[in-house]
Amino acid sequence: MNPMRVSSIVLVCGALLFALPIPGTFVAGALVMLAGGAARWLGS
């Protein structure tokens, strides 16, 4: 079984933050997902 890539974990955490109904987590989740996407694009 292959472990998950770091970028996949960051994307999942960002999606969870994005979905939380707490003020501020919408923007934070979007930023975390952008960081995960950049990490995946750069090959991490």
Which residue range is the domain that position 23 belongs to?
Answer: 6-42
Residue 44 has pLDDT above 70, yes or no: no
For 3-37, how does the pLDDT look when each residue is reduced to its tens digit (9 = 90+)?
678 888 889 999 999 998 888 888 999 999 999 99
Number of domains in the chain: 1
Residue 22: per-residue pLDDT: 87
Flag whether 25 is in a domain. yes
C-alpha 41/C-alpha 34 separation (Å) is 10
Flag whether 31 is in a domain. yes
Flag whether 27 is in a domain. yes
Flag whether 15 is in a domain. yes
Residue pair 18/25 in contact by the 8 Å Cβ criterion: yes
Residue 15: per-residue pLDDT: 92
Flag whether 1 is in a domain. no
